[in-house]
Amino acid sequence: MEPKEECPKDNKLDILLVPTIGISPKGVRLGYGHGFYDRFLAENKIETISLIFEKQIIKNIPRSDHDVTIDWIVSEDRIIDTSNIR
């Protein structure tokens, strides 16, 4: 799910939809294990949203030092503003 090397790199983004395998209500996400989004988001302060199914919300996911949390979680049942939970 990472962009190809030849894709343009415009870092003037207002919002970013971040793919997620699973996510905690605090915005800690399980990705695909390569750290692309964590590295990108550490360098670019952008509002983030993960669109997921409710069953992908996991009560507790351990957070590593390099993990960047997601700002908004949107499922078929609810919208979670993680800044109110952290």
Is 38:29 a contact under the CB 8 Å cutoff?
A: no
Is residue 24, in this structure, part of any structural domain at all? Answer: yes
Would you state the structure tokens that stand for residue 76, as one six-digit string? Answer: 């078929």
Rounded to a whole number, what is the largest CA-CA distance in the chain? 38
* Token pair of 5 as six digits: 């090397």
Q: Given this model, what pLDDT does residue 2 score? A: 67
- The number of domains in the chain is 1
Q: What percent of the chain has pLDDT over 90?
A: 55
pLDDT at 85: 79
- From the number of C-beta atoms within 10 Å of its C-beta (0-12, 13-18, 19+), residue 70 rates as buried
Residues with pLDDT less than 70, the chain? 1-2, 8-11, 86
User: Is residue 37 within 8 Å of 28, Cβ to Cβ?
Assistant: no
Flag whether 70 is in a domain. Answer: yes
Domain interval for residue 67: 15-84
- pLDDT at position 59, please? 94
**pTM for this prediction:** 0.81
